[in-house]
Amino acid sequence: MSKASDAARALIARTRLATLATLSDDGGPLATLVAVADDGEGRPLFLLSGLAEHTRNLRQRPRASVLLVDAAHGPGGQMDRLRVTLTGSLSWLDGADAALAKTRFVEHHPDAQQYASLPDFTPGRLEVEAVRVVGGFARAVTLPLDEYRAAPGPPRR
């Protein structure tokens, strides 16, 4: 395993907010701030409202990209942060998968308990197809997907 794979998996495990990029009806991009949790295998989980434009976009076109940014930065300043972009397609979850996703999401975001059971909120998971890691200035790599998937995630709290 590479340090980049380990760092990427650790970042998704601790991140609470991310930028979700979707495609609008006209084919243009839409980037929005969303709450995110790790499914334990490095795939982002979301609990999305049917009222949100990004949800409507994902229902029509499930391809998406998620940008996760570390809160801490290095000596190079604001842009010297670990950043991970995960690209793939969103899967809407139901049944036991949905129940598990909601449990994991609420564990990561306790305040989500107030809306997690509302019928308007549906859990979705990004099925990761590509991983781009930027470790700061001049430190960028596209990870082999099998390496990212095999990297051990941090232990559950």
Say how many C-beta atoms besides its own lie within 10 A of residue 132's C-beta.
17
pLDDT of 6 strictly over 90 = yes
pLDDT for the residue 141 = 95
Q: What element of type H or E holds 14?
A: helix 3-14
How many angstroms separate the CA atoms of 83 and 137, rounded?
A: 11
pLDDT of 154 strictly over 90 = no
* Structural domain boundaries enclosing 62: 3-150
Q: Is residue 46 part of a domain?
A: yes
Query: What's the average model confidence in pLDDT over 20-25?
Result: 97
Q: Is residue 57 part of a domain?
A: yes
Query: What's the average model confidence in pLDDT over 140-154?
Result: 90
Q: Is residue 61 part of a domain?
A: yes
Q: Which pLDDT tens digit goes with each residue over 49-101?
A: 999 999 999 999 999 999 999 988 877 788 889 999 999 999 999 999 999 99
**pTM for this structure?**
0.93
Number of structural domains found in the chain: 1
CATH of the domain at 83: 2.30.110.10
Q: Is residue 156 part of a domain?
A: no
Contact call for residues 42 and 151 (beta carbons, < 8 A): yes
How many angstroms separate the CA atoms of 6 and 93, rounded?
A: 27
Q: Is residue 118 part of a domain?
A: yes
Collapse the DSSP code of 113 into the 3-class scheme (helix H, G, I; strand E, B; otherwise coil) and give the result. Answer: helix
Beta bridge partners of residue 125, listed in sequence order: 45, 91
144 pLDDT tier (thresholds 50, 70, 90): very high
How many angstroms separate the CA atoms of 150 and 66, rounded?
A: 20
Q: Is residue 103 part of a domain?
A: yes
